[in-house]
A and B are shown apart, each in its own frame.
Chain A
Amino acid sequence: MTRALVSVPKTARRGEIVDIRAMIAHPMETGYRMGPNGAEIPRHIITRLVCTYGGDEVFAAEFFPAMSANPFVSFSLIAAESGTVSFAWTDDTGQTETASAEIVVS
């Protein structure tokens, strides 16, 4: 797989609601298209994104062929403790790409 980008605030106050953004460069090939030679282009999509915060799963999403290429996900978290926000994308072939960022809560 390829490059992933994440946006997590470096600092936050305890209890603050913070915006989390994540994007991964991926073709998200649906499996429904035919190539120029008439042969089916095999499906190749990310099937699952999991986000953990301080080791606990806080967000997860199943992806389907209708998702666009380079899927972008945005959600909110409540800043509870300083820790690592980690992301893991898994695709059809079982490969996993990860990214993470630290947040300092005061």
Chain B
Amino acid sequence: MLPLSRRRVLGGLAAGACVALASPSVLAQAPPRVVVIGGGFGGASVARTLKREDPGIAVALIEPNAHYTACPLSNSVIAGLRDMNAQHFGYAGIEADGIIHVPQKAVRVEADQRRVVLADEVRLGYDRLVVAPGIDMRFDAIPGYDAAAAELMPHAWKAGEQTLLLRRQLEVMPDGGLVVISAPPNPFRCPPGPYERASLVASYLKTHKPRSKILILDAKDAFSKQRLFQAGWATLYPGMIEWVGLSFGGRVTEVDAATWTLRTEFGEHRAAVANVIPPQRAGAIASIAGVADQTGWCPIDPVTFESRLVPGVHVIGDAAIGGAMPKSAFTANAQAKACASAVIALLRGRMPAEPKLINTCYSLLAPDYGISIAGVYSPQNGLLAEVEGAGGTSPLDAPQAVRAEEAAYGEAWFGTITTEAFG
């Protein structure tokens, strides 16, 4: 795969290869080049949308991994309800679209010369660059919680080995153990995720280790779909899940991974299994490329998704400061489509249209119990703002049949979005 891709890259996109530049007539017809960094929901979707909407654009997707491991539904893997292989998606569909998959890591962006430097020092020229790096954990945020501690207290907030580690820890935990989930302050990837995780872990423990308890230590006073979650917990898992918000001393200030201890401002907890979801930031290449600000996230123009810091570079998905839009796969896909339209307009000399974006987040409280939140967003005062009166959440008093339907919708959504992004 590597030599083939390299050759195609060198012929089509590499700035060092002067094939295209040798002949002025070829130069005049040279197709516009878009390089995408990151093969997750955002990056894969933007690459495919660009190619589908304007096949005349040369699109390269830089992604070192041979396949993507999807986060949505990975809480079901942790709860033993789903096989990890169902979370893997390859890039064959993207390559079949005529997009060049560059199986390498982007190490630098030379924005003034409009080129990306790969790990082997090959440079890819671009007319427009889309950066979709997702998130990195902030291992400097909670004293005691670094990369080594994450091997004992998994975050499992990027799907993969960490997901399986948390699964194994739950499997070997004795009945009666305390599972502590530390939830981060906003903004972070997948706002309902920690609470879905608590629910599905409870569904596993209820059947297999019914004397166990789950404690959620939260750095926030409120969370997504809170009333729906808490009503569901009372029905499905009475007395099993305890949530401690910020104002009740929920913020974890320090951990000691060796002794499975989590400290808050007002107390200390010993866990049998500790799932520490730390604060996050945009994936590393965003800082290297200069598109992340002091918050660690990337300010963007809400119409074009072009960086406010580096011209010619667009940022989508979890890494971007999405205003009111949550960091979700649905959002990344919606932003990818809007960004692709804007990039095509800019490359073809047209005015980008103002987008309307939609997000929906489904969460499972049990295998047959789903809830959702939906929102509509548009650019207002330089940010993506929620359109008033649009969207909403599942009803608080719906019958079980509605919860079962929503669980099925969530599964169907995953099928749709992964097909759209990966083929």
Contacts and interface: CB of A to CB of B under 8 A. Distances in A.
Interface of A: 3, 5-7, 21, 23, 25, 69-70, 72
Interface residues of B, number: 8
Provide the main secondary structure of the chain A interface.
Answer: strand
B249 A23 contact: yes
8 contacts: A3-B248, A5-B249, A5-B265, A21-B265, A23-B249, A25-B248, A69-B247, A70-B221
Nearest to B264: A7
B266 A21 contact: yes
B17 interface: no
Contacts of A6: 266
A5 B247 CA distance: 9
Nearest to A71: B247
Contacts of B221: 70
A89 to B, nearest CB: 14
Contacts of A5: 248-249, 265-266
B247 A7 contact: no
Interface in B350-373: none
Given A23-B265, A25-B247, A25-B248, 15 more contacts: A3-B248, A5-B248, A5-B249, A5-B265, A5-B266, A7-B265, A7-B267, A21-B266, A23-B247, A23-B249, A23-B266, A70-B221, A70-B246, A70-B247, A72-B265
Contacts, number: 22
Contacts of A3: 248
A51 B246 CA distance: 22
A83 B28 CA distance: 85
Interface of B: 221, 246-249, 265-267
A23 B221 CA distance: 13
A5 B266 CA distance: 7
Contacts of A70: 221, 246-247
B5 to A, nearest CB: 53
Contacts of B249: 5, 23
Nearest to A24: B247
A29 to B, nearest CB: 15
A3 B249 CA distance: 11
Contacts of B265: 5, 7, 21, 23, 72
Nearest to B246: A70
A70 B265 CA distance: 14
A23 B249 CA distance: 8
Contacts of A72: 265
B253 to A, nearest CB: 10
A7 B249 CA distance: 10
Nearest to B267: A7
Nearest to B253: A21
Contacts of A25: 247-248
A30 to B, nearest CB: 17
A8 B2 CA distance: 61
B380 to A, nearest CB: 21
Contacts of A69: 247
A71 to B, nearest CB: 10
A69 B249 CA distance: 14
A7 B251 CA distance: 14
Of the listed residues A5, A6, A69, the one surrounded by the most CB atoms of chain B closer than 10 A to its CB is A5
B250 to A, nearest CB: 10
A23 B246 CA distance: 10
B99 to A, nearest CB: 48
A3 B221 CA distance: 14
A10 B379 CA distance: 53
Top 10 closest pairs, chain A to chain B, by CB: A70-B247, A5-B266, A25-B247, A7-B266, A5-B249, A21-B265, A7-B265, A21-B266, A23-B247, A23-B249
B265 to A, nearest CB: 5
A67 to B, nearest CB: 13
Contacts of B247: 23, 25, 69-70
Nearest to B221: A70
A102 B280 CA distance: 38
Contacts of B246: 70
Of the listed residues B221, B265, B267, the one surrounded by the most CB atoms of chain A closer than 10 A to its CB is B265
A44 B105 CA distance: 55
A9 to B, nearest CB: 12
A6 B249 CA distance: 9
A59 B221 CA distance: 27
A5 B246 CA distance: 11
Contacts of B267: 7
A18 to B, nearest CB: 14
A72 B266 CA distance: 11
Nearest to B265: A21
